Homo-oligomer: A and B are copies of this chain.
């Protein structure tokens, strides 16, 4: 029978054990998540059992580009490095939710805010030589967040990562953010 369910989904579990130690969880906008000690990342749509040590689980999937133009993709690809580099001993999971107003905008309106106004791509690009990232989409799964943004970097670049976050949080795009939790991680 043709039936393939959710094979593209990735689960982020806040738990007692896992390869990433949670160094801090800062709720910037909206409702917090329960405190957890570690982060586990697993393929598939995991729903923990009652006897699991998970405090929360967030689901997302990797998708195609939604706003990036060809010239921008070429530029980003030149700057970007893959995840999982040995020197990347730090990471950040920043789940984000945007408002209904954002999602009701048409494609050209969202693109204009995202890049022409907020310069999300242009301002991020220079950081990508030492900060690698992967976007996961959550909204279409009916989750409490719309995006699970994931970053890896060397802990010596933590200040630069903070600077990138500060730049993005000042943009017009961020006025549509209704929930954001900044979870910082260290590789165990």
Contacts and interface: CB of A to CB of B under 8 A. Distances in A.
Given A69-B108, A106-B65, A106-B73, A1 B141 contact: no
A64 interface: yes
A47 interface: yes
Interface stretch (A4-12, A19-27, A161-169, A170-178): A4-12
A188 interface: no
Interface stretch (A51-59, A82-90, A125-133, A150-158): A51-59
Interface in A53-85: 54-59, 61-70, 72-73
A4 B106 contact: no
The contact size tier of chain A is 35 or more
Contact of A2 (B6, B33, B109): B33
B106 A3 contact: no
Nearest to A1: B56
A45 interface: yes
A185 to B, nearest CB: 18
A45 B34 CA distance: 27
Contact of A63 (B62, B106, B140): B140
Q: Of A67, A142, A144, which is in contact with the most chain B CB atoms at under 10 Å from its CB?
A: A142
A120 interface: no
B70 A9 contact: no
B56 A2 contact: yes
Given A2-B58, A6-B59, 9 more contacts: A1-B34, A3-B48, A5-B141, A8-B140, A64-B103, A66-B66, A66-B107, A67-B107, A140-B140
